[in-house]
Amino acid sequence: MSVLKIHKGDQVMVISGKESGKAGKVLRVDREKHRVVIERLNMIKRHTRPNPKKNPQGGVIEREAAIDVSNVMLVCPACGQSTRVGYRLTGDGGKVRVCRRASCGKDIDKA
């Protein structure tokens, strides 16, 4: 199984499709399907029946649809630019993601 470089809570930039160029926060990651749901991006309308608990009126609900992870890039919290992700091994056997921009190179995760 490949490891996804995008994690829940990350800031990402969409690089293709109708939301290309927009950025947002990752709400959910689907590891099996390699898809991510980004806050207020790729909204779709869903027609729903009335549901007494969630939505008594029914009608049209807008919600985020998942985007393939290959269509997004991580936004580096240090330099604020979209970047490819590298890894740096930490002393205790763990690893942290790092920004691959030559001008930055900072850790994305806390070591």
Is 104 a binding residue for Zn ion by CB under 5 A? The answer is yes
Residues 17-56, mask of contacts with Zn ion (x by CB under 5 A): ----------------------------------------
Q: 3-state SS string over the chain?
A: CCCCCCCCCCEEEECCCCCCCCEEEEEEEECCCCEEEECCCCEEEEEECCECCCECCCEEEEEECCEEHHHEEEECCCCCCEECEEEEECCCCCEEEEECCCCCCCECCCC
Q: Could you tell me which stretch among 2-10, 38-46, 57-65, 68-76 binds Zn ion (CB under 5 A)?
A: 68-76
- What tokens were used for 102? 């030559």
- What tokens were used for 80? 């604020």
Is 99 a binding residue for Zn ion by CB under 5 A? The answer is yes
* Binding residue for Zn ion, selected from 79, 96, 100, 109, defined by CB under 5 A: 79
Least distance (Å) from Zn ion to the CB of residue 98? Answer: 8
Is 108 a binding residue for Zn ion by CB under 5 A? The answer is no
Is 85 a binding residue for Zn ion by CB under 5 A? The answer is no
Count of residues engaged in binding Zn ion, rule: CB under 5 A: 6
